[in-house]
Structure 1
Amino acid sequence: MAMDAGGGARDAGAWKIVLGAAVVIAVAAAFALDRLHALALFPVQAVRFEGDIVHVSDQALRSAVAPHLEGGLLFVDLAEIRGAVTALPWVSSASVWRVWPDGLRIRVDEHEPVARWGEGALLTAAGERFRPERRPAGLPALAGPDGSAARVLERFRTLGQRLGEIDAEPVAVGLDERRALRVTLEDGVVLRFGRDHFDVRLQRLIDAWPAINRYAGERSIAAVDTRYPNGLAVQWAPPADEQNNGGDPNR
C-alpha cells in the first residue's frame, strides 16, 4: 500500500496549529483570571455575623476577616476566613457562606466554659482548654498537671452531684504533682482525698457528714482528711476570737 507523504505532513501541521491555539487559549484564560482578581469582581460589601456571640467583639471578628476579602466575592477563600475566625480565643467553630452578589454570612459558635483551669485558661464541658484575655468571674477553679484536665473535670462533676446530698458545693478541685486530690467547698472547708480509692472515700465522707456536724457543735470545720483506711480526720477552725487577733489567745 502506498502512503501519502504529503497528507502526513498536512496532518502534522494541523496538530501543531491546534496545539498552538490551545496554548494561546490557556494563556488568555490565565491572563483573564488574573485580571478578574485585579479588578476584584463582585467586591465584598457586607459581612454578617450570626450566632449567640457574647464574648467576642464585633471589632475582633471584622479585624480577623478583613485581610481575606481581597479579590472579591468570587475569589475569597472561605476556608481561610473560617480559620481566621476560629483562631480567636473564644471561638469554638465557624461556618462561612457567600451571599450573592456582595456579601458573606458567618456563623460563630463560642466556647461555653464550665470552669477556670490553672493560670489563665478556661475549660469547656468537653474538657477543651482555651485561653482568653480575660476570664469571667464565678466559675469553679480546677487545676492539675498536664494531661489531667479530663480526669479533674470528671472528679468535679462527681463531687458536684454527690456532695449535693449533704448540701455541700465544690468550688475548687485540684490534683497535685503526685495526683493527690484536694477539694475546697463553698464555705472554705478543705477535703483531702489522696490518690486512690476516691469513690470509697467520698462515700465514707458522705455517710459520716451528719455525725461530724453534730460533733462539731459551735466549732467550724477547717478540713477533713479521708486518707485513712477506716475513718476520717477532722481539723477544726480556730475560734472566732483567735482568728480576729491572729491566733494568739494572749494578745
Structure 2
Amino acid sequence: MLGAIWQDSKLMSIMAGFFSAMAFALLGYAGLQWLIHRPLFELQKVELTGEVDRINLVSFRANVLPEVQGSFFSVNLSDVREQVEDQPWVRKAVIQRMWPNGLRIRIQSQKPLAYWGDNLLINTYGEVFSANPAEVGDNVLQATLNGPPGSELLVAKMYVNASKVLRKLGLQLKDVNLSDRYGWSFKTESGLNIELGREQENFTINQKLDRLVAIYPKIKEQLMQTVDSIDLRYPRGVAVKGERLAGANAKPVALKTSLN
C-alpha cells in the first residue's frame, strides 16, 4: 500500500507542498523570534505624558519601570497599564508602543472632590481612591463624605448639588452623610446641622433644599441669633434649635412654606 502511495504523483505533489509550507512557516517563525529579540527592540525608553503633576517620579521609577518586561513586540500592554493604574493619583492610563524600543504612557490623574470617610478620598467621578491628602494642596478638600457601600457616586452628586444651594445662603458644607437607611444629613463649616431625612414621593430632597433656601434667611432675621440645627424631615414644618434673638417669641418654632 505504501508503494502505491509513493507511485501516486499527485498525492506526492500535495505532500511535498505541505511539508514545504511547514518548513517555510517554521523558518519564518524562527526568523521572527530572532528578529524581535535583537537588542535594537529591547525596551529602553518610557515616555510619561498627560496629567503628571501629582505623580511621584521617584516612586514611579521604583515601582513601575522594573515591571516593564519584554521587547517592543512582546511587552504586555495590559500588564503595564494595570501596574501604572495601581499608583497613587493615577485614575486611568493609556499605553502605546513607541517605535522601535519605547513605550508612551499617557496619564489621567485623580481629581479629588472631598474626603471619603476617615482614610480615603473621592474623585469628581464619584470613585473612591487612596492617596496622600497632603499632596492635594491647601483649601481643595473642604468636606468629608460618608455613605454605605455602593453609594459613592450618589453622595458625590449630592455634595456638588447641595454645595451650590448652601452657597446662596452663605454656608459651606463640611460633612455630608448618607445613613444605611438612606437618610441625608449635612453639617456646615459654621457648625449648623441640617437634617433632610429620606427621599419621599411627595417631599423630595430637592424640595427640602428649596424650603431651606426659603426659610433660613427668615429664621436668621426674625427668630434666631445663631442657628445650631434645622430639621427639614417634616412635610408641613421645620424644627429649629439655636440662640434666639432678644425679644423673639419663646414658643416652639414651626415655619410653614409652600412647596410650589
SS of equivalent to 1:96: strand
Aligned to 2:230: 224
Q: 1:211–1:142: structure 2 CA closer, same or farther, 3 Å change rule? A: same
What is residue 91 of structure 1 aligned with on the other side? 90
Secondary structure in structure 2 of the residue aligned to 1:236 = strand
Secondary structure of 1:15 counterpart: helix
Q: Aligned-pair distance for 1:8?
A: 5.9
For the 8 Å contact 1:143–1:174, the answer to whether it is kept is: yes
Higher mean C-alpha displacement, 140-149 vs 20-29:
20-29
1:68 aligns with 2:71: no
TM-score with structure 2 length normalisation? 0.76
Unaligned runs of 5+ in 1: 238-251
1:149 aligns with 2:152: yes
User: Residues of 1 paired with 2:208 and 2:83: CA distance?
Assistant: 47
Counterpart in the other structure of 1:211: 218
For the pair 1:192 / 2:198, whether they are aligned, the reply is no
CA distance in 2, matches of 1:97, 1:220: 59
Matches within 5 A, 1:1-251: 9-62=8-61, 63-70=63-70, 72-132=71-131, 134=133, 136=136, 138=139, 139=141, 140-196=143-199, 197=203, 198-215=205-222, 219-236=225-242
Q: Which residue of 2 aligns with 1:244?
A: none
Tell me if the contact between 2:126 and 2:157 (Cα under 8 Å) persists in the aligned partners: no
Calculate percent identity across the aligned residue pairs.
27
The count of corresponding residues between Structure 1 and Structure 2 is 232
Alpha-carbon distance in structure 1 between the residues aligned to 2:103 and 2:6: 58
User: Contact (CA 8 Å) 1:122, 1:131: kept in 2 or not?
Assistant: yes
Paired residues of 1:41 and 1:73 also in contact (CA < 8 A): no
State the TM-score, normalized to the length of structure 1: 0.79
Unaligned runs of 5+ in 2: 244-260
Gap change, CA 1:28 and 1:173, over 3 Å in 2: same
8 Å CA contact retained: 1:65, 1:84:
no
Q: Tell me by how many angstroms 1:56 deviates.
A: 2.2
